[in-house]
Amino acid sequence: MKDGFAERFEQFKTSKSTLTFIVNPLNTNTNEINIEPFGIDAGSLQMQLLDLKSKDLWSGKFTELKSKLEELEVQKCMHIAQHKWTTLKEIPRVEALIFGARNSLPECYSEVKKLAYGVLTIFASTYSCEQAFSCLNIIKTFISNSITAAFFSFQNYLAPQLSLYGDFRDDQEIMYNNFRTYGTILLVLVGIMVYIGVAFVSKLAPIALLCVILSIVGVYVGVFVNMDGKPDVEFCVLGDRILSSKDNVVCSKERNVTNSLFYKYCSKLSNSTVSNNTDDIIWQCDQYFETHEAKLLQAIPGLSSGVFWDNIGIRFRDKGDIIDLSDDPEQYQPKGRDTYNQLLVDIATSFTLLVGIFFPSCTGIMAGSNRSGDLADAQKSIPAGTLAAQLTTSFVYCSGVFLFAASYNNLFLRDKFGESVGGNLAVALLAWPHPLVIVIGSLLSTIGAGIQSLTGAPRLLQAIARDGIIPFLNVFEYSNSRNEPTKALFLTLTICECGILIGNLDHIAPILTMCFLMCYMFVNLACTLQSLLKTPNWRPRFRCYHWSMSLLGVLLCLAVMFISSWYYALASMALAGLIYKYIEFRGAEKEWGDGIRGLALSAARYSLLRLEEGPPHTKNWRPQILVLCKLNSDLVPKHRKLIAFASQLKAGKGLTLVSSVIEGEFTKKHSEAQAAKLSLKKVMTEEKVKGFAEVVVCPSIANGLSHLIQTTGLGGLKHNTVIMGWPFGWRQSPEAGRTFIGTYQNFNRN
């Protein structure tokens, strides 16, 4: 057996050129190919290969084939290393790609095609063995890289080997699918923690807070420890462009250096001779590569380097642009050119987009009030805790921005995923004493924020349900035996899962921003309205409070909403309007009243007080109509056309009052008066008359009409026109005539 293996490996060596011909005929020396078993003319084969190399259309197919086969080998070995045997079946077959490339060649390359088919037929098993040994080599490299990367954050930095769908550094969709899977698992775990109860969350919070504080302190200490730079963290640049460290490319332009940049940016054109002398090979290199220098730069030059002023400038870029120090679009826009291993912008950036992405990190201000029911002394704890938290986080965020700008190289700072340094987290490289401090701190910080949100949001939803503000949410007011809002928690988890399924955090952030801004805007608006309306139960205890600050908060929220995303802002405002109209339609009101109705009441009072009593100016005169209706025995207006006539005068935009009198005693006729009033309102609605209806009960009709003429109206808003029916039967009933004349005289006196 030993001798058999030795013989087989010797055949691998002697037949290497023949085996590689099927996938890479362009760089194969025809003198080393054994063509005797296939009956192929050597001269014709050599001429066809030269012709094939000279035509980009056909030579490009084999260049593409080679890269695809390399990708497939890497994927297979990744799946084997992770024991994903079923996933191997989903990978495209190598034979299909090879035959596809060969079948696309025209018949003029008959000798090339004949040799390829012969090799594939006879040496299939040998080719499979070659692939297997290649896989073993890649697995070994993958495992060693996984061990060295063990201290990076979960998925991206902590455990990249746990990627479920392949190498996420090659395809961002793979990364987002991992986010969806692991995010769902983490959401379930956090949901279980919150379901256990707020007591358990309160015990867990100090542990997470301690780790976060230690990580923040580690960053500040690291900034000053590395004040003069960190020489062991370097990245490669070509001219003004930052390069990826993938494939362990050596930062050198020298051809004699193994795996240097030369072999990335240069390609072989043809052989001047048939010998194997590499000096005879003609190389064609990228123009930018030829005219610029490759060098290693420090990723963290430190505070003393003065890089702060290099990071002050604004460099917003579009998706697909090259990360470059130049501000010339001709330099940083690829425009169809090959970018090789140069890093590209993965999302179009702008000030508005960055505001939308950053704002959710500043949204913990309501955490205390959301849990007010679980605090021992909410009036004392919420103001002190909220102000302390805001001041602390504002200091950390602002100082972090300036310290990072003064410590990091500009190109490295714009490397979003740390691809230039092997996928490392930038803040972790700066921190002291170990990057793991930052990774664990950031992990616990995000988990802690999620726990706090899942603790407060269900209670807020439960409070809305108990208040009956939105009727269809009443089912979520349920609490279990431990006073935990379980149904509200499950709805919150469902909404969170929808956000996780989006995957891309840059797409989720603007949505979260709109939700938070709408919440804060309406809180500020409510405080402003309550202060302006001087509501008796609104008594803020904060000494420095003034309604103008709340109004400023409303305007700032609106401004940030439209700065972040104007279309999201319009959609959010439309949604808020629909919710308000739904609440108004369902008539859900509590003892604390309706803010808009209160504002209307206050505005009406203010306007009435400003109206001068007495006749208005001639230019401001408009008909203020009092319609006196007679009711029949069914308490329905006897002469409906009086109200129809009043509707014809609506263009005057004046006040319309429809009134009637019921003869009798008020204590006995009260229910009839209410029914008559409803009847008048119904007729007014049918006739499209906007106004008010009123019915009075009086011992006599004449006295009742006199009371209506004298007392109807309020302040300067009184009627100046009376519409009443003509007494048709005044000849037979003198009393009706006297009543009409008396009413007319009372109106003139009024």
pLDDT confidence of residue 15: 59
pLDDT confidence of residue 150: 27
**Is residue 662 over pLDDT 80?**
yes
CA pair distance 56, 52, nearest whole angstrom: 8
CA pair distance 132, 76, nearest whole angstrom: 10
Q: Give φ, ψ of 385 to 5 degrees.
A: -65, -40
Q: Which amino acid is at 371?
A: R
Between residues 481 and 154, the one the model is more confident about: 481
**Is residue 603 over pLDDT 60?**
yes
Strand partners, 271: 281
At 165, is the secondary structure helix, strand, or coil?
Answer: coil
pLDDT confidence of residue 445: 78
**Is residue 59 over pLDDT 60?**
yes
Confidence tier at 20 by pLDDT (50, 70, 90): low
pLDDT confidence of residue 5: 46
Between residues 416 and 16, the one the model is more confident about: 416
Segment (H or E) for 121: helix 110-122
DSSP line for 208-270 = HHHHHHHHHHHHHHHHHHTTT--TT-EEEEETTEEB--GGG-BS---TTSTTBTHHHHEEEEE
Confidence tier at 596 by pLDDT (50, 70, 90): low
**Is residue 397 over pLDDT 80?**
yes
Q: How far is CA 643 from CA 124, 630, 724, in A?
A: 98, 11, 10
**Is residue 213 over pLDDT 70?**
yes
Between residues 514 and 2, the one the model is more confident about: 514
The whole-model pTM stands at 0.56
Confidence tier at 109 by pLDDT (50, 70, 90): low
The torsion angle over the Cα atoms of residues 402, 406, 407 and 413, rounded to 10 degrees, is: 70
Question: Which of 111-125, 356-370, 512-526, 591-605 has the lowest average pLDDT?
Answer: 111-125
396 Cβ neighbours under 8 A, 6+ residues apart: 216
Contact 400/392 with Cβ under 8 angstroms? no
Question: Which of 77-81, 656-660, 723-727 has the lowest average pLDDT?
Answer: 77-81
Q: Which amino acid is at 728?
A: F
Calculate mean pLDDT across residues 206-233.
Answer: 90
397 secondary structure, DSSP code: H
User: In the structure encoding, which two tokens stand for residue 106, read together?
Assistant: 């025209």
**Is residue 127 over pLDDT 50?**
no
CA atoms within 13 A on the CB side of 269: 9
At 24, is the secondary structure helix, strand, or coil?
Answer: coil
CA pair distance 432, 742, nearest whole angstrom: 98
pLDDT confidence of residue 147: 23
Q: How far is CA 49 from CA 25, 29, 601, in A?
A: 8, 10, 91
Q: Which amino acid is at 238?
A: L
34 Cβ neighbours under 8 A, 6+ residues apart: 15, 18
CA pair distance 53, 55, nearest whole angstrom: 6
CA atoms within 13 A on the CB side of 164: 9
Sign of the dihedral defined by the CA atoms of residues 81, 82, 86, 92, in that order = negative
Between residues 457 and 591, the one the model is more confident about: 457
DSSP line for 347-392 = S---HHHHHHHHGGGG--TTHHHHTGGG-SSHHHHHHHHHHHHHHH
Q: How far is CA 129 from CA 699, 711, 748, in A?
A: 114, 107, 115
**Is residue 575 over pLDDT 90?**
no
Calculate mean pLDDT across residues 127-153.
Answer: 31
Between residues 577 and 147, the one the model is more confident about: 577
The pLDDT tens digits of the residues spanning 471-510 come to 778 888 888 888 788 888 898 888 888 878 877 666 666 7
Segment (H or E) for 285: strand 281-285
**Is residue 664 over pLDDT 60?**
yes
**Is residue 519 over pLDDT 80?**
yes
**Is residue 80 over pLDDT 60?**
no
Strand order in the sheet with 234-238: 241-242, 234-238, 294-298
Confidence tier at 121 by pLDDT (50, 70, 90): low
At 647, is the secondary structure helix, strand, or coil?
Answer: helix
Confidence tier at 17 by pLDDT (50, 70, 90): low
Over the Cα atoms of the chain, what is R_g? 41
Question: Which of 98-107, 419-428, 637-646 has the lowest average pLDDT?
Answer: 98-107
- Identify the residue whose tokens are 């009372």: 746
Q: How many angstroms separate the most distant Cα atoms in the chain? A: 140
pLDDT confidence of residue 424: 85
Sign of the dihedral defined by the CA atoms of residues 205, 206, 209, 211, in that order = negative
Average pLDDT, the chain: 76
534 secondary structure, DSSP code: T
CA pair distance 181, 59, nearest whole angstrom: 41
Contact 139/80 with Cβ under 8 angstroms? yes
Cis peptide before 433 (omega within 30 of 0): yes
pLDDT confidence of residue 298: 94
Across 293-307, 322-336, 462-476, 588-602, the highest mean pLDDT is recorded for: 293-307
Contact 642/629 with Cβ under 8 angstroms? yes
Between residues 64 and 324, the one the model is more confident about: 324
Reduce the secondary structure of 567-634 to three states and give it as a string. HHHHHHHHHHHHHHHHHHHHCCCCCCCCHHHHHHHHHHHHHHHHCCCCCCCHHHCCCCEEEEECECCC
Contact 355/560 with Cβ under 8 angstroms? yes
Contact 364/393 with Cβ under 8 angstroms? yes
Q: Exposed, middle or buried by CB within 10 Å (0-12, 13-18, 19+), for 61?
A: middle
pLDDT confidence of residue 99: 59
Segment (H or E) for 741: helix 734-749
Calculate mean pLDDT across residues 577-597.
Answer: 65
At 658, is the secondary structure helix, strand, or coil?
Answer: strand
CA pair distance 204, 477, nearest whole angstrom: 26
Across 331-345, 531-545, 601-615, 648-662, the highest mean pLDDT is recorded for: 331-345
pLDDT over 70 percentage in the chain:
70
Between residues 480 and 535, the one the model is more confident about: 480
**Is residue 285 over pLDDT 70?**
yes
**Is residue 105 over pLDDT 80?**
no
pLDDT confidence of residue 347: 85
At 719, is the secondary structure helix, strand, or coil?
Answer: coil
Q: Exposed, middle or buried by CB within 10 Å (0-12, 13-18, 19+), for 357?
A: buried
At 281, is the secondary structure helix, strand, or coil?
Answer: strand
- Identify the residue whose tokens are 């085996």: 19
Contact 592/622 with Cβ under 8 angstroms? no
